[in-house]
Amino acid sequence: MGNFHDEIPSFLISWIQKQEVFWVATSPLSANGHVNVSTKGLKGTFHIIDSKRVWYEDLTGSGVETISHLRENGRITVLFNAFEGPPRIARLFGKGFVHEFGTPEYNELLPPDLRKPGSRAVIIIDVEKVGTSCGYGVPFFEFKGHRDTYYNVASRFEQADLAAQQQQEDTVKPADIDSFPQKGLRHYFLSHNSSSIDGLIGLTVAHETPRACNIIVKERSHIGRLSTSLAKRLGMDGSNDLSKILDLRFLAGTIMGLVLATLYFRLFTVLKC
């Protein structure tokens, strides 16, 4: 018998986090539209915020059905299967939201050092209902490991963008597809990920953000936020927060040096006596 819950039960959270693969299902509102099911895997892409909200890092693919459907109506179901141990199927029914690469919401969840090669969006899902069932019809499968093919290909696409950006000093207009390298992600977003097979809107701004410059800017802004936070705790404000912090560090280092020198001198005097 199946069971339904208003949120993710605690016993399911740890089980979900151990799964190596999951599926997402979406569909357009049109009766003639194509229902889509996508397989998702690769370790570390699925995250549970709490019992009512989850998110996953959406990696670049040949299509953009999930993103397009979520933009239109937000409906989504995430499916997990047990392939070892006791049989189990779990479905997370909810409403999904898309935050593309380079947007503030994306940057907040995925700082540069945590992103996977080929990352194009973050999908946040507000869980409205959870269904569990037996899964007796699901066979056993032995997990051998994740493929490295995707990351190898995605890394080459990113490197093509980085090389082009360095040569052009990032003067490319965001919508000028012919100026992007054909083997780069920015060109791919515009040529393959801008609309669904039913003509719904897909990615709209991910191609506008340079891969290399974007990382540098966000790393600097991240440091800026940390400095501002530290400055507030120290009662500082104004545009010279960072220099004040550095002055404090220099002063602290000087004091520590004097203390150590005094202790060393006293120890030397005692030993000499």
How high is the pLDDT of residue 257?
64
Residue 173 pLDDT exceeds 80:
no
**Model pLDDT for residues 50-66, shown as the tens digit of each residue:** 999 999 999 999 999 99
Dig out the tokens for 258 from the structure. Answer: 């004097």
pTM of the model: 0.75
**Model pLDDT for residues 21-52, shown as the tens digit of each residue:** 999 999 999 999 999 999 999 999 999 999 99
How high is the pLDDT of residue 251?
57
How high is the pLDDT of residue 156?
96
Q: In Å, how far are 121, 140, 180, 237, 253 from 231, measured between CA atoms?
A: 32, 55, 41, 7, 18
CATH number belonging to the domain at 3-221, selected among 2.170.140.10, 3.40.50.11540, 3.90.1200.10, 2.30.110.10: 2.30.110.10
| C-alpha atoms less than 13 angstroms from C-alpha of 235 in its C-beta half-sphere | 1
Contact present, 167 and 93 (Cβ < 8 Å): no
Least confident of 115-129, 194-208, 214-228: 214-228
Residues contacting residue 128 through CB under 8 Å, at least 6 positions apart: 6, 93, 94, 95
Segment 230-259 shows an average pLDDT of 47
Burial 83-117 (b: 16+ CB within 10 A, else e): beeebbbbbbbbebbbbbbbbeebbeebeeeebbb
